[in-house]
Structures are given as C-alpha cells and as structure tokens.
Amino acid sequence: RAAAGALRLALEGSGSALVVSADIRTGQPTSGDESTHGDGAAAFVVGDDADGTVIAEYLGGASVTEEFTDRWRVPGATTSRQWEERFGEIKYIPLGEHAWNAALKNAQLAPGDVSIAVVTGPHARAVRGLAGRLGAKVADDLGTTVGWTGAAHAGLLLTNVLETAEPGQVVALLSLADGADVLLFRTTAAIARARAQRTVAQQIAQSGPLLYGKFLAWRGMVTVEPPRRPEPARTSSSAAARSEDWKFGFVGSRDRKSGLVYMPPARISAKNDSVDDMDAVPMADVLGTVVTYTVDRLAYSPSPPVVFAVVDFDGGGRLPLELTDVDPDGVAIGMRVEMTFRRLNSADGIHNYFWKGRPVRA
C-alpha cells in the first residue's frame, strides 16, 4: 500500500516529485505465490508543465483503511504467508466499493464516465469480485503474463493503460491493500505524443524462458555448487566512487577535435595528445553490434557460461562486454545489442553491478 499512498501524497502535495515503486515477490518452490507473482518496477514524475509534458491530470481520489491480518511475513523469512482467500474477498470488496463510490463523488463523476479502471491487490479473488461491481471497463491485470508484482503492480498497470490511452479519457486506479485507495485521472491531448520508448506490452513480448533450476538458484531457494574457479574479489568502493558516471550512467567521452568516442571515458586524446578536451557522451541508450565473441565455460559466474563480446556502438565507441539474456548457441557476429544494468557478481556481501549487452528482440 505504500506505493499507492506515495503516489497520492505526491499528487495532493505541492511541488514536483519522483515516485518510484519496485518489488521482488518470492514464494516457496511450487507454491501458488511462486507461480502467480512476479517482479516489477514503475516510476512517475508528478508536477506541472514546468516539470515536463503532463499526460494525465489528477481529478481526485479516496482512501479507506481497516486493520486486519490477510498477508504477513515473519521477521527473517524470505516468503510471506496469506490467510485463505474467502476472508480477503469478504473484507476487501466492501472496502473497495466504499472507496470507489467516495472517489467518484469527490470528482463528480459517474461509473459510466470512467473509460477504463485498473484494479489490483494481493487477493486475486477479491480483485476479480470487485472488478465486476464497478460498472466500468476493467483493464487486464497482467496476471497471466507478468504476475502480481506487489508494491509495483498498481504503477505497472497504470503505466500499461496510459501507454494506449487516448486524449480525454478518464482512468481510474483502485488498489486493495490494508484497505483501498482510488485515484482518478483524465488524460490530456499531450498523451498522444508522449509514448514510451519501450512499452510494457513490448517488454512482455520480448521476454524469454528461464530454466526453473536457475530461477531457484537466483532466488536463493536452492544452494548450487559454485564454479570450481577462484571467486571474484570484492568491488572497490573507492574505485567505484571515482567513476560514478561511467559505472552507473555508462557515460563515455568524445574527443572534441577528432570525434573519437572513448569507452571508458578518457582524459587524453589518442589522436592529438590534447588533455581534458572531451565532451561527456551518455551511451546507455545507444545500440551496438557484436563484432566478435567468445563463450567461456570456465570463468566464474553466477549464470554460466559467460558470453563475452566486443561491441561497436552506433556513432562510435567500442567495448568488450558480457552479454545477458542470451542463448550461447544463438550468438552471432552482427547481432544487435542494447545495454542493461545488471549484477556482475557478489563478493564479501557486496553486489557489483555494471552494464551488460542484451540482444535486441523484434
């Protein structure tokens, strides 16, 4: 509920705000939570035209709270527990109806004025039951493709709806969690021009399969034998601090005189020996092409084998990179890749993240 509350707080507050929600859902192996939950994140900039293009205006909302135990987690546990779903249905549906009616009254709207409603919550049975009582069209909850992503799900579903919404539509968000929150929006004319670079639907379509054993290992549900190779040294905090733009932003440098792009960024030109005559070049959104590669089955990795490739970036720049989300047998010279921020390894309790290449899927 913290995510819906944070969004409403930003909408009803003053000034601009960045609201980010993210969650990783864990369940016992073969459990219902494991099969129906997922991981996700969503972010919204709340403000006025001075902060960017406004694609939806906040019309108002309502919130109700009731304290009862429906889902809980024991301290130190990796998974949560849930009371039986009939109880959740009995408790949540009246709360959702109360918040829904109050929000419509506050915004002076009728159910028929709502173009599409987003309904989400930890109890699928309560969500389905409430969706049929709203008197409005209800959006796909992505339960069969993404699963319920916990704190991120309200923002994820709202984003998915806004990415296909037309100007002038009223969009409702109803979140069930320790009560109910309803937020109402009207899309602006600008929404037709402000489409995402990669929509939620495209991300779902570009997803790939993952072996169940590897999934359990990554989740920490099973302990697997590590590679019989020397473990990596822990990452240097001081070195990371000296290269923040490169490590976290993937920012290279471009020689002002020769136009040569350096990755990682350089201070001295290889062409004319000039010093500090460079411009910063963000490369995180630049596509690249594999010019050569190797598959290493001996190197230490939490996800062997390691696929290394030398990548030429569009507009200049070359860098050896690890590839991810890739079938080793499917790598080829000429493959197009995009950048993604991923974990390289963990050592001494420190997770080391950097950029990897990921095949561009049509």
- The per-residue pLDDT for range 102-137, each reduced to its tens digit, is 999 999 999 999 999 999 998 889 999 999 999 999
The label of the residue with tokens 């021009």 reads: 193
Same structural domain for residues 23 and 171? Answer: yes
Domain span at 117: 2-205
Three-state DSSP class for 118?
A: strand
pLDDT at 85: 81
Show Cβ contacts of residue 84 under 8 Å, excluding neighbours closer than 6 positions: none
Same structural domain for residues 190 and 159? Answer: yes
Q: How many domains does the chain have?
A: 2
Interior angle at CA 41, CA 3 and CA 232, nearest 5: 125
Six-digit token string for 323 = 């590839």
pLDDT at 302: 78
Burial class (CB in 10 A: 0-12, 13-18, 19+), 275: exposed
**For residue range 209-263, what is the model confidence (pLDDT) as tens digits?**
888 988 998 888 888 887 777 878 888 888 888 999 999 999 999 999 999 999 9
Same structural domain for residues 275 and 159? Answer: no
Same structural domain for residues 187 and 245? Answer: no
Six-digit token string for 177 = 């969690």
Which CATH number is 104's domain given?
3.40.47.10
d(CA 83, CA 71): 6
Give the residue from 294, 318, 313 showing the smallest Cα distance to 305. 294
The model's confidence at residue 179, banded by pLDDT at 50, 70 and 90, is: very high
- Residue 220 lies inside a defined structural domain of this protein: no
